[in-house]
Structure 1
Amino acid sequence: MSLLFTVANGVAVITLDRPQVHNAFDDALIAALTRAYERAIDDPAVTAILLRASGKNFCAGADLNWMKRMAGYSRHENLADAMALGRLMYIIDTAPKPTLVRVQGLAFAGATGLIAASDIAVCASDSEFAITEVRLGIIPAVISPYLVRAMGARQARRYFLTAERFSAETARDLGLVHEVVPAEELDDAIERHLKALRAGSPAAIAAVKELVAAVDGPVDLTMVQDTARRIAAQRASADGREGIAAFLEKRKPKWGTP
């Protein structure tokens, strides 16, 4: 099995489990990841989704055997193959539940897209990253919207063009990851973020993800009106009323489900 899936304490943990090939992914793993995220999203017991990997490296990008098969694909087969990866990235990005990623070792090519599409990314201090597609004569097209959004167009242009490796600290400075910690502190850092997420309203968290996507662009009157409607709806919601009441009554809120 190339993927592990568990649920505990409201967290769905999805584990890339191909350490013998540095967790490189292929069409089968992409399909399994897609099913795992959909399962976690649909499970009412799950409030957060964590992606992690077995072994020394997070993910070395595309599997060599998959790449050999792709070389013989028709244009139509290549489009269907690319759309499968694109759909996975979109599901991670738009999941109504917070998505976290725990990174160690190497994270190359498509792996950087998985990281950029996630809400919270924590990596080990010895991690290395690279967006290597041009060295294979291809481009990081499907993952580019998430990387450009995370890193900015100017920085993305550099690293897309050079395919050079960069460090964990550089990844943090670029905005690809949020936090860099020693490898032995990765699990503690993830748990700290999960604890913070548990304190929030699941419905409000889902609404915040929609909000960020909606306001990620030029501010105009339409956006101003849209943001006003969103906060008005949230204030009037069950969780909005409960959160304010709990604050005023100095107690912990009792959140509903999204």
Structure 2
Amino acid sequence: MSGDLTVHGPDRAGRPAVRDGDPMAWDADPATWGTTPPPLGAGLAEDATALAHYAAAAERELATLPAVPQRDRRQRDAAARILQAARTLRDHFIAHHAEAVYDELTGARSVHLRIDALARAAADRFPGLVPTRAQLDAERALAQADKEGREIDQGILFRGLLRSPTAGPHLTDAMLLPTRRALDLLSRFRRTGRLDLGVVLIERRGAAAHLTLRNTRCLNAEDDALVDDLETAVDLTLLDDQVTVGVLRGGEMTHPRHAGRRVFSAGINLTDLREGRISFVDFLLRRELGPIGKITRGLLPVPGVESFPHRTVQKPWIGAVDSFAIGGGMQLLLVLDRVIATEDAYFSLPAAQEGIVPGVANLRLPRLTGARAARRVILTGQVITATDPQASLVCDEVVPSDGMDAAVEAAVAAFDNPAVLANRRMLQLAEEPPERFQAYLAEFAVTQALRLHSEDVIGRIARPRPEGDERADDRPA
């Protein structure tokens, strides 16, 4: 990108600014601001300059308003108009220039950047396109209700990139590469066969790597730390040649209501969401493209190399569900090859009741249950118990609690078979072609970001949950 734009550093609130007296500032009253955005289409450099000026002007107008919690209705409406105008221009910019932006950030696709590094590079290289690190740090310190919603701009960026037939596949490949953390731990895991990663324990037992989720105080509710540990454990499973099968199971809880009882997952940590600690890039996008993506499509050992006979390392996966798999926990089951549940277990996707989107479940669940049943589960929050006849659509085997260990051992023995892996590859390709996944995730990026900052979601997560609702138990004890 070239041009004579000089952008000052962010102010104390993390807002970027342009030089004084800039003729492209578009200053206006906040009540009417944004009605005349600059035209795009002159070329990458010119359009990037126009976007930077317009975004900086938007920041100046936002700065005339009180902080989010102190705004009245008129001021909230004015902020919404300013943000909407700037986001519309960002969306048009990335729609015009997705491939050129991606090539600029990755050296014409010679470098594979993970989504967090890509977002940081975009903030540096294209001012105004996505929030700066200072802006994100400032928002990270706020409760969800008090944020400006800057992560929505990251959603706009990733929708544009994932829609691209050239940038999209390269980006998803970048997220299938092993993490630096896993590579650093690999020799130790191969030697010892056991690593405590923090909230995930990985142990090699015979042919299987057993991944035990141990976010014990909040019923294995998902947060940034769990996603990081889970991706590391998935990488180690796929990189260790002594392992042929992966097993996912929840550990014993320390939460008072479930102390000593195994729980698979309570889904997204609603306390962290309410307090603003759930990251859009490092949690919501990373879990789909990182750990779940690798379980589904395998790990890419070497970037840019078409290894024979397969470019990714895949292994079959077994899920052992004790007690319940709610939200993100049930989403995980949809990509596993065999699901075993205890007789008292149940499954649910309450995301619509919370106002958000249940990851990639809207793409995957209809394939398993049919469209009508999927709508009941996703749109109305219908709970499926392990003993319901329809449970067979999401669960392969139901056993007594004391029979789970034996059932898992038998499943591992059955899946420790090269023919199982070969057929798994072909099933996965038929069920979810890469381009279909990318198209879905592109729209998910914007839709979920908007949902997280919508008034109805803010109101829902602020309200106490009904007594007896397991989702009330995702708070730390």
TM superposition score normalised by structure 2? 0.42
Amino acid at match of 1:214: L
CA distance in 1, matches of 2:403, 2:362: 30
CA contact (8 A) 2:209 2:246 kept: yes
In the TM superposition, residue 10 of structure 1 has moved relative to its aligned partner by 1.8
Q: Identity of paired residues, percent?
A: 27
Q: CA RMSD in A?
A: 2.0
CA contact (8 A) 2:207 2:243 kept: yes
CA distance in 1, matches of 2:396, 2:235: 25
Structure 1 residue aligned with 2:340: 122
CA distance in 1, matches of 2:371, 2:237: 32
Amino acid at match of 1:2: V
CA contact (8 A) 1:58 1:105 kept: yes
Structure 2 residue aligned with 1:153: 371
User: Which residue, 236, 261, 283 being the options, matches 1:81?
Assistant: 283
Structure 2 residue aligned with 1:91: 294
Question: How is 1:1-258 mapped onto 2 (pairs within 5 angstroms)?
Answer: 1-55=198-252, 56=261, 57-70=263-276, 78-79=280-281, 81-87=283-289, 88-95=291-298, 96-170=314-388, 173-198=391-416, 200-201=417-418, 204-216=419-431
Structure showing greater radius of gyration is 2
CA contact (8 A) 1:151 1:176 kept: yes
CA distance in 1, matches of 2:321, 2:389: 11
CA contact (8 A) 1:86 1:143 kept: no
In the TM superposition, residue 15 of structure 1 has moved relative to its aligned partner by 0.3
Name the SS for the 1:160 alignment partner.
helix
In the TM superposition, residue 211 of structure 1 has moved relative to its aligned partner by 1.1
CA distance in 2, matches of 1:148, 1:93: 17
1:148-204 deviations in whole A, cap 9, x for unaligned?
A: 322222211111111132211237545111011111101111111112223x22xx3
CA contact (8 A) 1:129 1:171 kept: no
Structure 1: which 4+ aligned runs deviate by more than 6 Å? Answer: none
Structure 2 portions without partners, runs of 5+:
1-197, 253-260, 299-313, 433-477
CA contact (8 A) 2:384 2:390 kept: no
1:24-52 deviations in whole A, cap 9, x for unaligned?
A: 11011011101110111011110100001
CA change 1:135–1:6 in 2 (3 A) is same
1:113-142 deviations in whole A, cap 9, x for unaligned?
A: 111111110000000111101111112143
CA contact (8 A) 1:172 1:179 kept: no
In the TM superposition, residue 5 of structure 1 has moved relative to its aligned partner by 0.8
CA contact (8 A) 1:94 1:209 kept: no
Size of the aligned set, in residue pairs, is 210
CA distance in 2, matches of 1:92, 1:69: 30
CA contact (8 A) 1:112 1:129 kept: yes
CA contact (8 A) 2:265 2:325 kept: yes
CA distance in 1, matches of 2:377, 2:316: 27
CA contact (8 A) 1:122 1:190 kept: yes
Name the SS for the 1:97 alignment partner.
coil
